[in-house]
Amino acid sequence: MDRKDLSRRGFLRLAGAGTAAAALGPGALGAEPAGQRPNVVLIISDDQGYTDYGFMRHDTIQTPHLDRFASESVVFTRGYVTTALCCPSLSTMLTGLYPHQHRITGNDPVVREDRPLWYEAFEQCPRLPAMLGEAGYASFQTGKFWMGHYARAGFTGGMTVKGRHGEAGLDIGRKTMKPLFDFVDSTQESGQPFFLWYAPFMPHTPHTPPERILAKYAGAGANAKYYAMCEWFDETCGQLLGYLDEHGLRGNTMVVYVCDNGWPGEVKGSPYEMGIRTPIMIRWPGRAEPRMDTSHLASNIDLVPTMLTACGLEPTPEMPGVNLLDAAAVDGRTRVFGENFCHDMADVTAPGKSLRTRTCIDGDWKLIAWQNPLPDVHTNNPIRRCEGDFELYNLREDPAETVNLAEARPERVAAMKKLLDDWWQP
């Protein structure tokens, strides 16, 4: 994908409500007035490449509901997640912290029986549902969760009470949408503002799309089932967004979209663009004017501060993200950081023991710094493309990361390595 082409053509296609440099809507920097606190819905797809949407100009995958949602939203096409594994990425979206801060660096402990140690670390962190609960919000968990019982994050209700991925919560989207709708109905009866976590196991494997959707992709070969899963996920988003509209909730509901990590194949779990990049979208009628932002950097580290601020609450001092609806803060941000770890977590007190890479994206430049020697934890880890300590790419000229410039630009490597060390040095 050529980002300059997306900037020109994608904007003309999507942003009928303003110009590419349009400012955020009136009052976008503040929270709703007292008594009018917004509902918040967080939609999280699972294992979806950042190019794999109609509005991102994929030439085959059809996502009409998310395309419409994008046309109504602030869209950061240069969005990233802090890490390319689902459990630590989702934990960032619950805590507003980097994995090395919240300590959930992988999907499983090396010693499986040690998982309660990571539960304890998670409960010591600020958690968005708990903070909203203290302010009177009802909240509901569905889909991927990883933390056992939903109450561990402070949700007032949910589908997951045990298990690794999310147990019964994984039925959402694939089997039913009713728990979501029942929760929304209950908040309308109680008059409470609500926070809804919709993180279905989609388009993640198993790729089991309905035949009626799969038939559309008969010519896509080995990718057919994955493509169909992306459209199936889109269909469920349409059902959720449609329900909000039917119940008159659009105007006072902030809806945020992100993917937890990318796809396909070997890039899963990797620091490469297809592993960590995702569009980040925010729809909040009257508060965030729709536009497509193809230049500023955004991260899932920003989601908790953005949602807290919208709800009239202050982010905690340890949260390093910015409010994505604060135009000055977004404009002042020039870089984002990431970290990738082994699939299995070695030590809850020393996250560096399972670290594989640290990443800095500074403008158009991207540095991947490999941790050497690599940790002796070898389960489901992605392959690395280069044997050197560093990979350096110019994303504007080489978005597919095909030419490693580390040897040709040692001064750039040194400068960005210093940025990484100043951010976090394990």
pLDDT tens-digit profile of 225-246? Answer: 999 999 999 999 999 999 999 9
**Domain termination site, one of 277, 309, 329:** 329
Q: Rounded mean pLDDT of 330-352?
A: 94
Neighbour tally for 351: CB within 10 Å: 25
* Token reading at 174: 């694939």
Q: How far is CA 420 from CA 186, 336, 360, 366, 410, in A?
A: 46, 10, 6, 11, 15
More confident residue, 379 or 21: 379
Domain ends where: 298, 329, 360? Answer: 329
Nearest by Cα to 38 from 312, 302, 271, 258:
312
Query: Same structural domain for residues 266 and 359?
Result: no
What is the pLDDT confidence band of residue 10, given thresholds at 50, 70 and 90?
Answer: very low
- The reply to whether 320 and 348 lie within a common domain is no
Query: Among 295, 332, 266, which Cα is nearest to 4's?
Result: 295
CATH number at residue 281: 3.40.720.10
Cα(388)–Cα(308) distance, rounded to whole angstroms? 41
Domain residue limits at 259: 38-329
- Rounded-to-integer distance, Cα 46 and Cα 258, Å: 9
CA distance 268 to 261: 7
Do residue 315 and residue 366 come from a single domain? no
Q: What are phi and psi of 172, to 5 degrees?
A: -65, 140
Residue 378 is predicted with a pLDDT of 55
Give a yes or no: residue 277 inside a domain: yes
Which pLDDT value is given to residue 33? 42
Residue 335 maps to a domain: no
21 assigned to some structural domain: no
The owner of tokens 């996920």 is: 233
Q: Are residues 275 and 369 located together in one domain of the fold? A: no
Domain boundary among 329, 353, 386: 329
CATH number of the domain within which 344 lies:
3.30.1120
**How far apart (Å, rounded) are the C-alpha atoms in residues 82 and 426?**
16
Among 176, 145, 175, which residue's Cα sits nearest to residue 243? 176
| The predicted structure's pLDDT at residue 18 | 32
How many domains would you assign to the chain?
2
**44 shares its domain with 74:** yes
Residues 118 and 259 occupy one common structural domain: yes
Res. 36 pLDDT band, cuts 50 70 90: confident
The pLDDT value given to residue 9 = 35
Which amino acid type is present at position 281? M
